[in-house]
């Protein structure tokens, strides 16, 4: 009896974990000025003057394209690890950027970095 219950609990846990992974996959974070502003507000960063933010953490968000950084002119460090980024683009407005973290993405080349 305890073994059967344990097997049933494991099946249920696996089913819920699989559902959670599917839900997370469908909830990719689209980088736009408004979504980044909300993200900054949530993290108690500067949300009314995005140019005052120096560091931005966007790891594990399901981001596929770098965009919406036009107002982040003061950004020096950008964390984008563990996303789904395939091309390095959209960094032109971030002139002060000195550190860019892109590990665990789908990058095929480093074109776009200068």
Would you say the C-alpha torsion 19, 20, 21, 24 has a positive or negative sign? positive
pTM as predicted: 0.75
Rounded to an integer, what distance in angstroms lies between the CA atom of residue 1 and that of residue 20?
A: 29
Give the pLDDT confidence score for residue 109 in this predicted structure: 81
Q: What are phi and psi of 50, to 5 degrees?
A: -65, -25
Q: Which residues of the chain are under the pLDDT cut of 70?
A: 1-27, 114
Helical segments of the chain, H only: 2-25, 33-42
Nearest to 101 by CA among 57, 46, 61: 57
Nearest to 96 by CA among 77, 80, 112: 77
Nearest to 31 by CA among 54, 50, 48, 15: 50
Give the pLDDT confidence score for residue 6 in this predicted structure: 66
Going edge to edge, which strands form the sheet with 77-79? 55-57, 77-79, 99-101
Give the pLDDT confidence score for residue 21 in this predicted structure: 47
């Amino acid at each position: 009896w305890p073994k059967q219950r344990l097997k049933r609990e494991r099946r249920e846990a696996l089913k819920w974990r699989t559902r959670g992974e599917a839900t997370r996959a469908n909830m990719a974070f689209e980088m736009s000025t408004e979504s980044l502003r909300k993200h900054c507000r949530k993290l108690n960063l500067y949300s009314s003057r995005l140019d005052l933010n120096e560091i931005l953490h966007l790891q594990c968000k399901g981001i596929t394209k770098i965009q919406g950084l036009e107002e982040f002119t003061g950004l020096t460090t950008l964390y984008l690890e563990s996303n789904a980024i395939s091309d390095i683009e959209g960094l032109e407005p971030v002139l002060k950027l000195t550190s860019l973290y892109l590990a665990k993405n789908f990058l095929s080349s480093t074109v776009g970095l200068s």
